[in-house]
Amino acid sequence: MRIFNTIILILLILLFSGEAVAGGYNVSGVGMKALSMGGAFRAVADDWSAMYYNPAGLSNLYQHEIAFGIDLYSYRPEFTPEMTLNGYSFGYYDGEERVSEDKIPYTPFVAAAFVLPIFENVNAGFGVFQPYDHDVEWDIFRLSPVYNQYVVDSFELPVIEPLVPFPDITHEFNVDIIDFHPTIAAELIEDKMSLGVGLSIRKGSYNRSEIILQPNTLPESFSSRPYENLVTMTKYDASGWGFGFNAGLLYQATEKLKVGASYQSKTTIDLSGDADATLYSPGNRHMETLADTANPAKQLFKGEIYTANHEADADWVIPSEFGFGLSYQATERVMLSADFVYTMWSEYEGIEFDVTRTTGLTEFSFINGYLSPTDMPEEWDDAFRISVGIEGQPHERYKLRGGYSFEQTPIAEEGARVIYDNPSDRHHLSGGASLYVGIVEFYGAASLIITPETTVSDLVDDNEDGIFDNHAGTYKDFTAVTSIGFTVRF
């Protein structure tokens, strides 16, 4: 029967692994119990999510666990662009508050672990969870009316509606990482100290599109305002696999105090996919007429859309992190916990795609110069997160939990971009409860992620390539997450 249960559990993991979800591009937590305690779980680590927070905690599990549930995200970041330079705008909705595409996804998830005694004081397990997830879509840019002036002579200029087709969504960012996590843990000193190690087998998908304003390199007569920058869009759609590991230590310092420490290694995901580049050329009959046949402006001002597709590879670095935690059994029914996590975001240096094959280029070298993928510099800083949590059991059939965490942003103003949301520190408030009915534990949890309003004042071009590295403007962000689910232990 034990073997049969294990086989069923593995099949369920494989069936639902693509739906394992936890919110937040920076890890906001894995598992409802840990989430409701603000992520302060490294010295608690007493359910399947120990494989993520501190694999040493797996030594405390002596039953299979399988958890189902659903997360409801109410997610509404806001951005008011101020993308002006020397009093000039470039096509952004400057001064207008923009809201990310309204999304309230009902996201099902499953998280599972099985433990098998291999020999005395050793447990093994396997879990599937999603530590990174981010999905936003923005409409913050429009083509200037000067793109509309390629018309027949009978039309009156300027026209209002654009003649150059342009997408409604101009900036999009969607990343997902699923971690398949075999783990082993052992009690080094019985009832005193445990050590655990897990293998991170990570499947990542990376999707990004955004408007890039590239300098017009034609002579001044064809590159003066409003044509000093050309509107291009770069789209990345890639996926791949990477491997890393984590390790943890759990120590029972006193009868009431436990200490936990963990380390997650850096993971490099080998991305492979498409990197499309599109040039929206301005339509201006007058400018086209001024150019002779040999002049690239003859092709540029036709008001056409040029697109090239590139097959490309890239390395996507997911940073390493160090964690330390304490838990204290204050009374028989009340436990307190605290965590400190330091993430090495400086290891992430952006995505640089290496093109392996290209289709769709034109016969005009000037046009083709704008149809290459544009890699943006992304130099992030190391950041920390502090969490505190509490768990109480007023009755043997249910528990109550609460937590708070402060998360430092790794993104400086000079690298702030709307696809990453608010470049400000975050505050997480959370709470939850669980009810025990036989072998089933039912969960409910709620979280608020509050990001104070932040204004990025200056446009930055650190590498002096004529392309702005950031988005200036005012950022605001508020997210509410509601979760329900259950865990079966057998």
DSSP sequence for 28-76: --SSHHHHHTTT--TTT--STTHHHH-GGGGGG--S-EEEEEEEEEEE-
Highest mean pLDDT: which range of 118-127, 136-145, 332-341, 365-374: 332-341
Query: Mapped to the 3 state alphabet, what secondary structure does 408-454 carry?
Result: CCCCCHHHCCHHHCCCCCEEEEEEEEEEEECCEEEEEEEEEEEEEEE
Distance from C-alpha of 130 to C-alpha of 17, rounded to nearest angstrom: 9
pLDDT over 80 at 141, yes or no: yes
CB 320 within 8 A of CB 253: no
What phi, psi does 121 have (nearest 5°)? 70, 15
Distance from C-alpha of 140 to C-alpha of 144, rounded to nearest angstrom: 13
Q: How many domains does the chain have?
A: 1
- Which residue type, as a one-letter code, is found at position 46? D
- Residue with token string 């101009």: 170
Distance from C-alpha of 18 to C-alpha of 408, rounded to nearest angstrom: 29
pLDDT score of 299: 87
- Residue with token string 């795609």: 353
CB 251 within 8 A of CB 391: no
Token reading at 201: 């087998």
Average pLDDT over the chain, rounded to whole? 85
pLDDT score of 279: 94
Q: Please, which residues have CB within 8 angstroms of residue 271's CB and are 6 or more apart in sequence?
A: 204, 206, 238, 239, 240, 313, 314, 315, 316, 351, 353
- Which residue type, as a one-letter code, is found at position 229? N
- Quick one: which of 374, 415, 464, 457 has its CA closest to 84? 457
Mean pLDDT of 194-209: 95
pLDDT in tens, 41-75: 999 999 888 999 999 998 888 788 888 877 777 77
pLDDT score of 15: 35
CB 443 within 8 A of CB 486: yes
pLDDT score of 200: 95
pLDDT score of 118: 64
Distance from C-alpha of 205 to C-alpha of 351, rounded to nearest angstrom: 13
- Quick one: which of 170, 166, 167 has its CA closest to 138? 170
Q: Which residue range is the domain that position 191 belongs to?
A: 2-489
Mean pLDDT of 250-268: 96
pLDDT score of 262: 97
CB 85 within 8 A of CB 459: yes
pLDDT score of 110: 66
Stated pTM of the model: 0.87
pLDDT score of 117: 62
pLDDT over 60 at 13, yes or no: no
pLDDT over 70 at 4, yes or no: no
Distance from C-alpha of 471 to C-alpha of 458, rounded to nearest angstrom: 8
Distance from C-alpha of 481 to C-alpha of 76, rounded to nearest angstrom: 12
Q: Report the CATH number at residue 484.
A: 2.40.160.60
Highest mean pLDDT: which range of 241-250, 354-363, 421-430: 241-250
| More reliable by pLDDT, 172 or 29 | 172
pLDDT in tens, 70-83: 777 777 889 999 99
- Quick one: which of 476, 471, 448 has its CA closest to 458? 471
Distance from C-alpha of 209 to C-alpha of 235, rounded to nearest angstrom: 4
Q: Of 24-33, 111-120, 164-173, where does mean pLDDT reach its minimum?
A: 24-33
pLDDT score of 95: 92
| More reliable by pLDDT, 219 or 28 | 219
| Model confidence band, residue 3 (pLDDT cutoffs 50, 70, 90) | very low
Q: Alpha carbon 74 to chain centroid distance?
A: 16
pLDDT in tens, 407-439: 999 988 888 999 887 788 999 999 999 999 999
Distance from C-alpha of 122 to C-alpha of 78, rounded to nearest angstrom: 50
pLDDT in tens, 436-472: 999 999 998 988 888 899 999 988 888 888 888 899 9
Residues across the chain: 490
pLDDT over 90 at 247, yes or no: yes
pLDDT score of 239: 96
Q: Of 11-20, 142-151, 310-319, where does mean pLDDT reach its minimum?
A: 11-20
% of the chain with per-residue pLDDT over 70 = 88
- Which residue type, as a one-letter code, is found at position 488? V
Q: Is 400 exposed, middle or buried (0-12, 13-18, 19+ CB in 10 A)?
A: middle
- Which residue type, as a one-letter code, is found at position 316? W
Report helix, strand or coil for 2.
helix
pLDDT score of 12: 39
CB 401 within 8 A of CB 444: no
Q: Which residues pair with 63 in a beta bridge?
A: none
Mean pLDDT of 353-372: 92
pLDDT score of 21: 30
Alpha helices in 339-382 (DSSP H): 365-368
Please tell me the number of Cα atoms within 13 Å of 309 on its side-chain side: 7
| More reliable by pLDDT, 154 or 468 | 468
